[in-house]
Structure 1
Amino acid sequence: MKKNLLLLRHAEAVAYAAGKTDHQRPLTPRGTQQAYTMSELLHTQGFVPDLVYSSNAQRTTSTAEIFAQKLNYPTKNIIFDPSIYETTLEVMLDAINKTAPQHQNVLMIGHNPTISYLTEYLTGQSVAGLPNCGVASIMFEVAEWAHVSADTGVLAWLKHP
């Protein structure tokens, strides 16, 4: 049984916002456009997520909400996971491994460098750092997400705005 994991780096955010923490950085107008462009691409390719995970940082929540809207995924069902913010590859892999087996198409929205490291770890291929709103589609021939580990995925495609 195939599983499809889309790893997405958040869209472009304001570099520094006066009086705001890194966690509170909003998307730039360009970042908002990137999210609309890439979510439209996934929509035209027929991608329909069963589950959406996102960091709870403002730039990732905004990116996730744009993608959910375009992909007809209820925003109330997005899992905004604080552990995905400033995290390690192991924490993200643990979230993937704990995903219920009935989910076939999972979208995970996070931050560099971890999102790029995870792509490389799962596929054994270098992606040289996903740019803002870059997305990697990884296919797995596993029955359960618990079986996803190093080099078990195939990088189906890599796209960015």
Structure 2
Amino acid sequence: MDQRHSGIATATRPAADVARTESARPAVVGRVLSLVAASLLAAVGLLALAAGNPATPAQPTVVQVEWHETTAARHVSAGALDAVEFRPRFGQAVVARLPQPLAVASAAPIDEYRAGDVAYRVHDQSLYVFSADGTNVPDDGLVLVASVASGLDELAGCAPTCSIRLAPATG
């Protein structure tokens, strides 16, 4: 039905059609929102797969070390550190803050380090695995506790953190 009002044609619908359309609108909006949400979840899932599925906990990188004869080394090698979160430090090392201090009274401090050295810093209870040679030792010192036997190259991609298990070298 057309009605003419001031020369403009308008269509009118029966009241039942208007009520049916109005009641269907929330269902349509709900379906559209569900489709959008499903699409977003699928996209996030694909991104997670492309990034190596970070929702799945990663296994720690195993770095084999030869422990030096110090009290601290015996403490660490006795299983005190199965998997520790390390962070890169100035491209020279990866560093992890330990939950408990190590006993280092019998160990001599070092004033330089080589790639593959594993050292402990008493001041902040941190374990350092060095990836380069250097002499930039903190004033409060470092104590050498181990040397990397294998796996040093695995630490190159440690960013922003990486889980590392320091395991005794075999053979």
User: What TM-score, normalized to structure 1?
Assistant: 0.23
**Greater relative contact order (Cα < 8 A, sep 6+):** 1
User: What TM-score, normalized to structure 2?
Assistant: 0.22
* Greater per-residue strand proportion: 2
Structure (1 or 2) with the larger CA radius of gyration: 2
* Greater per-residue helix proportion: 1
